[in-house]
Structure 1
């Protein structure tokens, strides 16, 4: 008989959620393309459930040039209209405009810091993930002083759909913080 793996309560039993939880969430990411992917996806998620975005991830991958930041930064009004008609993504004009604008700002950060990873991981002490003590879902914060600081700076630089809650979710997704429950096999 196979042992049942303990997981964080939030991922439930949906196979897509379980795969995301087990293979991605909380694992440190320093690849700029993946960091950009999560920037787009987390921005799209604003006001929606994460599973809604996960189910459309392939649609986003196709619509946003496999998350190639340079290609997305070059999108124009015709691309915006194409995206507004793409049923594979969330068709919200503000979020689409923000994704394109954020791509341009992402490139500016890459130029300033050598990479987006250098910029965002530079906020962490010794560039190491923060390991939070989590017993259950109620222990997982929606924001932190660090997400407040990063979000504030990114907003000052012009980023949209990257408030402190979205920033914190981005930090969780890319392993800047590890909020896996203490009894989770991914801890």
Structure 2
């Protein structure tokens, strides 16, 4: 999510999508901007704007309910983003979250989960049952087996980051956390540096 016109789509329930998108955009650097993207026309306009202004774009697609993917499937597929994130509030019922995230994954392969709300539930770890890389937008469950803070401006592929960052893991900017569930990411990355990112 660093090239001009690159489109990363964040899907979530209500305001959770826009909140997560704002954090990811700030984290990506390169002047990334959040824009609502609801269909193919919106996606093309967002990409064109990104190319013209030489910035990547983080699109927001807000769902009204957990069962909303079916009705939105055609529009989601037509958006054809470069990367897809599911914005998940872990304090919501896990069964409801599973319904829409799995449905989304069938339409647009989900690259990762942008999770929040760990402090508001006794079972935040259930998000890992989704089987996707998890990036915490706020403090992760504590204690965490691998609680490492990342700095978003340089974040690319988590595996590459772990191999290259300094001892503190701090790079400045918004603080995000990865957890042990990200040891084998599918296609996560802001840039194209790591093999997982290139596989997309």
The answer to whether TM tops 0.5 is no
State TM-score, norm by structure 1.
0.30
State TM-score, norm by structure 2.
0.29
Q: Greater RCO between the two (CA within 8 Å, min separation 6)? A: 1
Larger radius of gyration: 1
Report the structure, 1 or 2, having the larger strand content.
Answer: 2
Report the structure, 1 or 2, having the larger helix content.
Answer: 1
